Amino acid sequence: MPDSSAIYPGSFDPVTNGHVDIIERGLRVFDRIVVAVLKNPKKATLFTTKERVRMIQDLFASKKEVEVRAFDGLLVDFAKAQGTNVVIRGLRAISDFEYEFQMALMNRSLAPDIETFFMMPSVNYSFLSSNLVREVAALGGSVEGLVPGPVARRLRQKLGGSKKSPKSIKAG
Ligand SMILES: Nc1ncnc2c1ncn2[C@@H]1O[C@H](COP(=O)(O)OP(=O)(O)OP(=O)(O)O)[C@@H](O)[C@H]1O
Ligand SMILES: [Mg+2]
């Protein structure tokens, strides 16, 4: 039987324990997961694309089943280019549903052979977002338990415990 694979796209700015939870759950179902980090020129990110990719690569360095790639353009095209027809998305409490429903149906109309696969994280991470992590870290709060240790360290390096608003942070 050929290896099963899926793509898990997002901005991962930065990767949180919620993302890690979804990747680990995904590995119980798929043989290979391509984590696709969105290069989004329209959205200012705290971490550069390279930094976002690198943090996830480092976390899964011992798992060859997890590949991390940057992408732009249409997700369905990138999924096909990676040789997969499954897109994994995480569903948090209430907030994600409407947007995810829209995206899944849009992707289906663009590429009917691609299926979106939703996974629920552990209840501990059901209200966790990268945005929340950026805000807490920018205000000098602890993000322990919300992101992996190395990511917490990168956040401290980046923000230096200063109280600048995450909204004022420029891309790159
Ligand atoms: N805590 C979490 N639990 C489950 N799924 C999650 C969690 N955080 C993000 N996801 C899912 O991971 C995918 C990529 O998310 P993304 O990188 O946009 O993270 P985000 O936390 O929504 O970031 P931001 O707060 O910057 O919008 C999406 O499917 C999103 O629903
Ligand atoms: Mg989001």
* Domain assignment present for 120: yes
For 144, list phi and psi in degrees, rounded to 5.
-60, 135
* Domain assignment present for 143: no
Rg (CA), the chain: 16
* Domain assignment present for 93: yes
* Domain assignment present for 84: yes
pTM of the prediction?
Answer: 0.92
Q: State which residues form the domain around 24.
A: 5-127
CA–centroid distance, residue 129 to ligand 2 (Å): 7
CA–centroid distance, residue 163 to ligand 1 (Å): 24
* Domain assignment present for 164: no
What's the CATH number where 117 sits? 3.40.50.620
Report the pLDDT value the prediction gives residue 169, as an integer from 0 to 100: 45
Rounded to 5°, the CA angle 25-49-85 comes to 45
Q: Output the CA torsion 149→65→35→112 (10° steps).
A: -150
Report the pLDDT value the prediction gives residue 41, as an integer from 0 to 100: 76
What token pair was written down for 63? 């798992």
Which one, of 46, 43, 45, 40, lies nearest residue 155 by Cα?
46
* Count: domains in the chain: 1
Looking at the CA of 40, name the nearest ligand: 1
Digit-by-digit pLDDT tens for the chain (172 residues) are 678 999 999 999 999 999 999 999 999 999 999 999 999 877 899 999 999 999 999 999 999 999 999 999 999 999 999 999 999 999 998 889 999 999 999 999 999 999 999 999 999 999 999 999 999 999 999 999 999 999 999 999 998 754 544 444 444 4
